């Protein structure tokens, strides 16, 4: 992902930092699952359950900024983001941290700020989910994509493939797709539709400047062919992506080639909005975002993906995001991260 020294989280950080983010996420996910399993909660309707879980979360949290239900309603009105679809304990903690860091004492003051300050609003949208990404993330899964899935897609649908990278973050994933497909299809024929809810991150994706850490998984042949090490002449390019120390950033910065960039069309789209789903796709790649969603929201997304895919189209998801009840939704399972539309 692009370098952004102001926020190491967004660069992916060091391997140990990334691991600790992943560990923390796992712990939070497990906590959310445990919470969901509390039978008294799971018997309740969704809104009551969320409110009860919110109370539990605020008791656990050291700060009490007010009524989370109020915050969710206001955020929906201002941003169209429905926080009910995101796992609550994790999301509330992230938002509370942001508000506390800004020196605000409660939700109403924060909402007032969001209503009047465009920058604060952008900051909220940037903060409420994690943008960590990297090229060829989980290389063994990309190997399966390379050796099995792409040949299968070509056999089924030919070479004019319609592929959607949903929640694409900084572009590492759609650009990896272009490279992987270019082994089988003339690159001028490759087209990827890439979307994310976060406009700022899409702007970074379009610029296509990355720290070398996020290139670690790129096969050498592609690295040599499609990436250029930035030099002193590229200072403007690094400055424009908001580096706090552009000189240091430049030393490890790479630009992805226009040949790759030109194959991807980026658009803002919200996975929680039915109208943002395209039609008749051969493959959807949507990884490492559904882990933030509640089970209900995740199911809804999987059903919409099913409608987006053509018969025998493939869905590639994150390794911790299995589709429970995939048979009922008319998916076939190729392994824990690749599924196909059956009907
Ligand atoms: C951790 S990144 C995943 C990036 C990439 N898919 C990968 O696996 O490396 C999660 C992305 O999901 C996006 N996101 C969160 N909620 C979303 C929503 N409701 N609709 C679309 N994108 C969303 C975030 O902005 C973020 O860029």
Select from 127, 151, 183 the last residue of a domain. 127
> 152: domain range?
139-341
Is 13 domain-assigned?
no
- What pTM was estimated for this model as a whole? 0.80
Stretch among 10-14, 71-75, 269-273, 287-291 having the lowest mean pLDDT: 10-14
Handedness of CA 273, 278, 279, 282 (dihedral sign): negative
Residues 6+ apart with CB under 8 A from 337: 141, 287, 316, 317, 318, 319, 321
Ligand 1 pocket: which of 26, 196, 293 to mutate (most atoms <8 Å of CB)? 196
Cα–ligand 1 centroid distance for 196 (angstroms): 6
Note the pLDDT of residue 58.
Answer: 42
Residue 19 has pLDDT above 70, yes or no: no
113 and 143 co-located in one domain: no
51 and 117 co-located in one domain: yes
Q: What is the CATH number of the domain that holds 252?
A: 3.40.50.150
Please compute the mean of the pLDDT values over residues 301-317 and round it to a whole number.
98
Is 149 domain-assigned?
yes
Is 94 domain-assigned?
yes
255 three-state secondary structure:
strand
Note the pLDDT of residue 45.
Answer: 38
Ligand 1 pocket: which of 12, 79, 133, 167 to mutate (most atoms <8 Å of CB)? 167
Cβ 190 vs Cβ 153: under 8 Å: no
148 and 253 co-located in one domain: yes
Token pair belonging to 234: 């590229």
103 and 196 co-located in one domain: no
Cα–ligand 1 centroid distance for 338 (angstroms): 18
Cβ 302 vs Cβ 275: under 8 Å: no
Select from 72, 101, 127 the last residue of a domain. 127
In terms of pLDDT, which residue wins out, 244 or 198?
A: 198
87 and 158 co-located in one domain: no
Confidence of residue 41 (pLDDT cuts 50, 70, 90): very low
Cα–ligand 1 centroid distance for 39 (angstroms): 30
In terms of pLDDT, which residue wins out, 184 or 240?
A: 184
Please compute the mean of the pLDDT values over residues 221-241 and round it to a whole number.
86
Ligand 1 pocket: which of 128, 289, 337 to mutate (most atoms <8 Å of CB)? 289
Is 88 domain-assigned?
yes
284 and 210 co-located in one domain: yes
Instruction: Tally the domains of the chain.
Output: 2
Cα–ligand 1 centroid distance for 62 (angstroms): 28
Please compute the mean of the pLDDT values over residues 57-80 and round it to a whole number.
78
Please compute the mean of the pLDDT values over residues 102-131 and round it to a whole number.
90
Q: Whose CA is nearest to atom 12 of ligand 1?
A: 167
């Amino acid at each position: 992902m692009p370098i952004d020294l102001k926020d190491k989280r967004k660069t992916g950080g060091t391997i140990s930092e990334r691991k600790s983010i992943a560990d923390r996420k796992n712990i939070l996910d497990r906590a959310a699952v445990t919470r969901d399993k509390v039978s008294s909660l799971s018997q309740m309707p969704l809104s009551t359950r969320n409110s009860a879980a919110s109370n539990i979360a605020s008791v656990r949290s050291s700060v009490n900024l007010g009524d989370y239900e109020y915050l969710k309603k206001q955020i929906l009105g201002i941003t169209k983001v429905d926080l009910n679809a995101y796992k609550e304990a994790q999301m509330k903690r992230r938002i509370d941290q942001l508000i506390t860091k800004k020196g605000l004492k409660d939700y109403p003051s924060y909402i007032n700020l969001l209503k009047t300050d465009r920058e604060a609003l952008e900051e909220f949208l940037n903060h409420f989910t994690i943008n960590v990404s990297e090229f060829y993330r989980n290389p063994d899964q990309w190997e399966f994509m390379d050796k099995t899935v792409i040949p299968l897609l070509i056999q089924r649908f030919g070479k004019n493939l319609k592929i959607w990278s949903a929640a694409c973050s900084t572009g590492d994933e759609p650009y990896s797709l272009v490279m992987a497909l270019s082994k089988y299809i003339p690159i001028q024929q490759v087209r990827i539709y890439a979307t994310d809810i976060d406009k700022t991150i899409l702007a970074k994706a379009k610029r296509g400047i990355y720290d070398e850490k996020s290139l670690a998984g790129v096969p050498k042949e592609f690295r040599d062919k499609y990436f250029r090490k930035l030099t002193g002449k590229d200072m403007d390019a690094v400055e424009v992506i908001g580096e706090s120390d552009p000189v240091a950033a430049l030393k490890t910065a790479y630009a992805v080639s226009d040949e790759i960039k030109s194959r991807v069309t980026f658009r803002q789209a919200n996975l929680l909005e039915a109208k943002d789903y395209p039609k008749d796709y051969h493959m959807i790649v949507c990884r490492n975002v559904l882990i933030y969603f509640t089970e209900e929201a995740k199911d809804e997304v999987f059903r919409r993906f099913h409608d987006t895919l053509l018969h025998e189209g493939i869905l590639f998801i994150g390794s911790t995001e299995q589709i429970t009840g995939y048979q009922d939704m008319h998916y076939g399972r190729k392994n824990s991260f690749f599924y196909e539309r059956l009907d």
